[in-house]
Amino acid sequence: MSVGVSPDLAAFLAAARDRVETALDTYLPRPPRAPAVLDASMRYSLLGGGKRFRPVLALAAADAVARGDEARVALALPAACALECIHTYSLIHDDLPAMDDDTLRRGRPTSHVVFGEGLAILAGDGLLTEAFALMAREPQGGGADLAARKLDAIAVLATAAGAIGMVGGQAIDLDGAGQVRHPDATAPPVFDAAALADMHARKTGALIRAAAEVGALMAGGSADEIAAVARYATHLGLAFQIVDDILDVEGEAATLGKTAGKDAAAHKPTYPALFGLERSRALAHEALDAALAALAAADLDRHLPALARWVVCRSS
Ligand code: GRG
């Protein structure tokens, strides 16, 4: 299912993506500071397409709390780029033979197919580490208040990306797929609806929530505004994941830019597998409604409501 994007959202998406593409290219260290071979592998994955959903969400959250004040929105750009670095690292590592073993990502051969497994691992490691170097370094100046916001944003992102967030969710996923050795002979987990929701809240949801949070935080949002965009993004993250599962069933590789039908082939627990397609679509819309309600309660809008509708109706 695809949907017409409103001209307003389309303009915002295009400008935000442009801004992120340019900034990513600028922020990444170039040879000879980084070895050319590592630089090539990091840039291949980072600058090789993708919706840029997480950085766009961070900028949209910044724009919402700053009510369009461009100088405040610009403070969120380094964190937005750091999010994309972390997201890209997770995709590179997820595609490795030891994990999901995939050969197609963003419409191109995966990193390990192009550069070999060792360098793909290092490209991911490099992007993860650069993300935090970037957030510590930029934006420069600004005094103690901005320094405190940077530290808070680093803590939010590190927590979301780490053991209790994305990495933890990936470990649960691997375990559920029977890809973990249990030296103590414990049994792998059984996935019911609650376990599925917990895995996704960590694996995909945590970074999406962090994107909105760090965007609002860096743009100087109040504690209430940051909490409201975090609630919005928690529901949005769930909607994003349900739609991702639906697209894996209904989508085509040419549109998705990645292999379709992998979840079913691997007998993975997914929303369509547990609830069927129709109920899954209804659940995605329920999550959308909850996301919109969280915004309305805090009197926040600008591009955030349209962005949420686009996530639920996207086709890639
Ligand atoms: C390896 C630590 C580690 C984590 C991997 C994010 C993730 C965890 C795995 C990706 C596998 C996957 C398909 C997850 C479901 C949702 C998701 C994150 C899809 C990919 O994100 P998009 O659609 O991709 O934003 P683009 O390419 O547009 O950036």
Which fold is adopted by the domain 7-313?
Farnesyl Diphosphate Synthase (1.10.600)
What's the pLDDT band for 2 if we cut at 50, 70, 90? Answer: very low
Q: Three-class SS of residue 109? A: strand
Partner residues linked to 87 by β-bridges: none
Continuous segment of H or E residues that includes residue 161: helix 143-161
**Domain spans of the chain, in order of start:** 7-313
The verdict on the CB of residue 167 being under 6 Å from ligand 1 is yes
**Predicted local distance difference test score (pLDDT) of residue 3:** 52
Whether the per-residue pLDDT at 310 is higher than 80: the answer is yes
Cα 203 to the chain's mean position, in Å? 9
The verdict on the CB of residue 170 being under 6 Å from ligand 1 is yes
What is the model's pTM? 0.94
Q: Whose CA is nearest to atom 3 of ligand 1?
A: 90
| Whole-number Å distance between alpha carbons of 28 and 97 | 27
Which residue from 24, 84, 85, 94 has its CB within 8 A of the most atoms of ligand 1, so it is best to mutate? 94
Whether the per-residue pLDDT at 118 is higher than 90: the answer is yes
The verdict on the CB of residue 149 being under 6 Å from ligand 1 is no
List phi, psi (to 5°) of 185. Answer: 65, 20
The verdict on the CB of residue 237 being under 6 Å from ligand 1 is no
What's the pLDDT band for 1 if we cut at 50, 70, 90? Answer: very low
Whether the per-residue pLDDT at 73 is higher than 90: the answer is yes
**Predicted local distance difference test score (pLDDT) of residue 263:** 72
Cα 248 to the chain's mean position, in Å? 17
Could you read off the pLDDT of 133-176 as tens digits, one per residue? 999 999 999 899 999 999 999 999 999 999 999 999 999 999 98
